[in-house]
Amino acid sequence: MSLLRVEGLGKSFGGNRAVDGIAFSLERGELLALIGPNGAGKSTTFDMVNGQLRADSGSIVFDGVELIGRKPRDIWRRGVGRTFQIAETFASLTVVENVQMALLSADAKLYSFLSRAADHRRDDALALLEQVGMKAQADRPSSVLAYGDVKRVELAIAMANAPKLLLMDEPTAGMAPKERNELMALTKRLVVERGMAVLFTEHSMDVVFAHADRMIVLARGRLIAEGRPLDVRDDPQVQAVYFGSGRTFEKAKAGVAS
């Protein structure tokens, strides 16, 4: 049984069919890229899976349970996590305190975090930081970290609830190519080690080709292709719809503007 099975999923905003009856599935241990031009419906799809948005039609079965109609907190408790940007207000906390906060939240003890974050599950938080290569910086203020390191901490925070499925919407936005590749290589390692699944959106085709096990392509709310990255790359419909005439993945890779 697939960890996630989406069928006939649809969402409209007014007359705009943002997501138009898409179907896909995701297995444990798999890193799946969701790509498509701006406005294709990627974030809307994510938000239906995590419960922020309610689907108009279709089904989202996760670990044998229908998610449509459930509250975000319920979906999160069942093992669907997502990465969040570290809020400004938490920038004054140290790296390890940020992860301890996330562990408190996972334990539903948020009410007492102010008094107890300093000693709550510090060892667990350090173990999570070690997994993302950030243990040595645990006691530094989050505000002084390099951007790529902040992204690693955000990943550690998302792992605090030990998700079975992690949703990452544009995780590498604003990062340099080298940092992007490092973050997704790390993500892939966690996927394999923990047997979890990751669904992520990404604009850099290099990153998708280098790290994704499989990819699905959305255009105007419809799923137009699915498969292994190198097979999808050569699909004429994908080349035409995703890049427009005359623009190809090869040109995109070379950084040729559209």
Nearer to ligand ADP, 137 or 204 (CB): 204
User: From the CB of 121, what's the least distance to Mg ion, in Å?
Assistant: 33
Nearest approach, Cβ of residue 120 and Mg ion (Å): 34
Residue 215 sits in the site that holds ligand ADP (CB under 6 A): no
Nearer to Mg ion, 24 or 248 (CB): 24
Angle ∠(41,46,48) on CA atoms, nearest 5: 95
Distance CA 30, CA 81 (A): 15
Strand partners, 141: 94
Q: How many Cβ atoms from other residues are within 10 Å of residue 133's Cβ?
A: 13
Residue 40 near ligand ADP by CB under 6 A: yes
Query: Containing H/E element for 199?
Result: strand 197-201
Nearest to 149 by CA among 164, 165, 135: 135
Q: Is 138 in the site for ligand ADP (CB under 6 A)?
A: no
Taking the complex as a whole, the smallest distance from the CB of residue 208 to ligand ADP amounts, in Å, to 15
Closest CA to 188 of 158, 208, 162: 208
For ligand ADP, give the closer residue by CB, 36 or 79: 36
Residue 13 in the binding site for ligand ADP (CB under 6 A): yes
- 95-106 and 122-131 are packed helices; what angle lies between their axes, rounded to 10 degrees? 110
Min dist CB 173 to ligand ADP, Å, is 12
**Partner that binds at residue 245, options Mg ion, ligand ADP, none, CB closer than 5 to 8 Å by kind:** none
43 contributes a contact to Mg ion by CB under 5 A: yes
Spatial separation of the C-alpha atoms in residues 238 and 26, rounded to whole Å = 21
Q: Which is nearer to ligand ADP, 97 or 202 (CB)?
A: 202
**Ramachandran angles phi, psi of 149, nearest 5°:** -75, -35
* 10 interacts with ligand ADP by CB under 6 A: no
Does 163 help bind ligand ADP (rule: CB under 6 A)?
A: no
What residues line the site for ligand ADP (CB under 6 A)? 13, 16, 18, 36, 38-44
